[in-house]
Structure 1
Amino acid sequence: MSAGRLLSVLLLLQSRGRMSARAVADELGVSVRTAYRDLARLQASGVPVYAEPGRGGGYQLLDGYRTRLTGMSQGEARALFFAGLPGPAADLGLAAEVTAARLKLLAALPAELREEAARTAAVFHLDAPAWYREPEQTPHLALFVDAVLTRRAVDVRYRRWRAPQEVHRRLRPYGLVLKSGTWYLVAASESRIATYRVAQVLDAAASDERFDRPEGFDLSAYWTSYLHDFQTRRYNGTATVRLSPRGRRRLPDNVPPEVVRAVDSTATAVGDEGWVEAVIPIESTEHACGELLRLGVDVEVVAPADLRRAMAATVGVLARTYGLH
């Protein structure tokens, strides 16, 4: 039984007031029997905890008693930034530190501010992963957290999209970014600073090498620049398309925001049935074909010719598959 958990019990009673043993157990993730034992040990250590029996009863501290043991550990200080982000904190291996840090903060607040904090926490929730996909498995994330904080280089085997697909790198981690439920590592290799998808790391091991992050390196500024460069490199062509009114309404659910904005800014009316013609950015013929086919009969590709042929060929294969030709 750790002294840290006894302190957590004490801080729970100080911040919440009267609590049942079941409520203490649920909050700390232990059995009710363990909660009873911890409460008894608090009493034995001289903390004025008393039990009130009966319906609505529970354990509470003697009125006016407050502990001053609210100093934060290093791990809890690291976790403070994630105090409102339980999912990411758990990913980073900081769930217990977040709980302890939150209790210490609440214990240090006056009663009226504790109530306000509780009301605020009750009406906000973050669910980072995007719809329609499972959260990625990131078994090496905790190692990268430690490497970022201790400035220790890491040797990795990484799977990338271009050949050779598997590469070995020694990385010097500068920071971690959570983007739409996906973790990315920003790190320096021998040649440059780059971004690595944590789920694509096949193996990782801490090295003995220590490093210093460049003075003035700004993780937020780097990420903003990276996103801008990514969008610039992502689209390397354009296509002219025609969209029905229903197709235009369905755009936000089927294509990236950049395509929607392009339609909004370039759309011109064609015909008398509400169709519009617009110029949109595309990554490649294959990618654009798959993306636009989601709109079915509500889109027509006008140009380029190779994309129009790809759309027609795919529709032809579908027609033969269903016995229509």
Structure 2
Amino acid sequence: MRAGRLVTLLLLLQNRGRMTAQQLAEELEVSVRTVYRDVEALGAAGVPLYGAAGHAGGYRLVGGYRTRLTGLTAEEAQAAFLAALPGAADDLGLGGALATARLKLRAALPAELREHAGRIQERFLLDAPGWYGDADRTPHLAAVAAAVWERRAVLLRYRRWRAPEEIERRVEPYGLVLKAGRWYVVAGGATGVRTYRVDQILGVRTLEEFTPPDGFDLAAYWTGYLAGFRARLHTGEALVRLTPEGARRLGVTPAGEGWTEARVPIESVDHTHGEFLRLGAEIEVLAPAELRDRIAATVRALAARYGS
């Protein structure tokens, strides 16, 4: 634990130049007194550190000293692939490893590239989750992630939408996917390869090791899964008339300045009823008759409620 902290302290000074004891303590999440002891230990080990008091004081490395201790651990290498998603690294328990990996990567870069990497980190941020949804509670994510890393089967207790709602299933987790702020685990089992929402997992028990099928490609599977999901989602069709604004909002190419008639895929009458009402007077439903009648009934009810 302390050895890793000493390396991190050294890399911080190497990357940032001068830092005060307070700044180092905040970065390392230790007390200032602990920083003093760590600096003394590095000095005793022959690291040329210079400390100065006062407003412009702090610690820095003397004479352009640079450590060659930039090798990544396995955990840090895993975290480096999540560098664009710090929230994801935190979810998987790799937040600390990601921070250390970034320090090591920066320390290994020439000065000009190090400056460029710093500008990227300052100016670009990827925030994957949507605006209006609360973050899913995923208390079993760490256990599932560990099973994925270690190639171990698990016994899942899982909650699904159809009866029986709670099931128990032995699966072999091939990989994790973060989609729109929600975690999914792709796993093989007696019923084939399936996708499970991690926030719907009620319990996890780790079992024996397994070998994934030859040639399984997580990215290719996920692309196919999404295509199949969209195909299953849009099982119907509606005939509508749209104003130019309605066409724009529905993603339809307008025929001109007037109304545009178009056929659009729909999931179900219930779902589409709510979605089309959002467009207000920018849309008129021509078919199916059930959807047109549902929207007309809702409009009459709204007119009665808001009328004088």
1:183 maps to which residue? 183
1:221 maps to which residue? 220
Deviations 1:258-312 (A, max 9, x none): xx2xx22xx556xxx7222211100100000011111122221110011111112
Spell out the pairing of 1:293-304 with structure 2 (5 A cutoff): 293-304=277-288
2:260 maps to which residue? 276
Whole-angstrom distance in 2 between the partners of 1:151 and 1:56: 52
Q: Displacement of 1:113 after TM fit?
A: 2.1
Whole-angstrom distance in 2 between the partners of 1:31 and 1:240: 67
Deviations 1:46-78 (A, max 9, x none): 322111222322101121322232222221121
2:63 maps to which residue? 63
Whole-angstrom distance in 2 between the partners of 1:84 and 1:100: 15
Q: Displacement of 1:163 after TM fit?
A: 2.4
Whole-angstrom distance in 2 between the partners of 1:300 and 1:315: 12
2:143 maps to which residue? 143
1:287 maps to which residue? 271
| CA 30–126 in structure 1, closer or farther in 2 if over 3 Å, else same | farther
- Give, as a single letter, the amino acid of the residue that structure 2 aligns with 1:12: L
Deviations 1:145-178 (A, max 9, x none): 1111101111112122222222211111000111
TM-score by length of 2: 0.93
1:255 maps to which residue? none
Per the alignment, in what secondary structure is the counterpart of residue 51 of structure 1?
Answer: strand
Q: Name structure 1 gaps, 5 residues minimum.
A: 252-259
Q: Displacement of 1:317 after TM fit?
A: 3.5
Between 1:168-177 and 1:128-137, the stretch displaced more is: 128-137
Whole-angstrom distance in 2 between the partners of 1:173 and 1:89: 19
1:240 maps to which residue? 239
Spell out the pairing of 1:71-82 with structure 2 (5 A cutoff): 71-82=71-82
Whole-angstrom distance in 2 between the partners of 1:211 and 1:297: 57
Query: 1:51–1:58: 8 Å Cα contact kept in structure 2?
Result: yes
Q: Displacement of 1:112 after TM fit?
A: 2.2
Deviations 1:190-220 (A, max 9, x none): 120011111111222222x211011111111
1:210 maps to which residue? 209
Count of residue pairs brought into register by the alignment: 308
Whole-angstrom distance in 1 between the partners of 2:179 and 2:35: 38
Spell out the pairing of 1:194-205 with structure 2 (5 A cutoff): 194-205=194-205
Q: Displacement of 1:85 after TM fit?
A: 2.0
- Give, as a single letter, the amino acid of the residue that structure 2 aligns with 1:22: Q
TM-score by length of 1: 0.88
Query: 1:21–1:32: 8 Å Cα contact kept in structure 2?
Result: yes
| Pair 1:107 & 2:107 matched | yes
| CA 60–244 in structure 1, closer or farther in 2 if over 3 Å, else same | same
Query: 1:268–1:278: 8 Å Cα contact kept in structure 2?
Result: no
Between 1:184-193 and 1:102-111, the stretch displaced more is: 102-111
Between 1:32-41 and 1:125-134, the stretch displaced more is: 32-41
Whole-angstrom distance in 1 between the partners of 2:30 and 2:117: 25
Aligned residues: CA RMSD:
1.9
| Pair 1:97 & 2:97 matched | yes
| Percent of residue pairs identical | 57
Whole-angstrom distance in 1 between the partners of 2:215 and 2:160: 29
Per the alignment, in what secondary structure is the counterpart of residue 183 of structure 2?
Answer: strand
Per the alignment, in what secondary structure is the counterpart of residue 274 of structure 1?
Answer: coil
Whole-angstrom distance in 1 between the partners of 2:76 and 2:150: 16
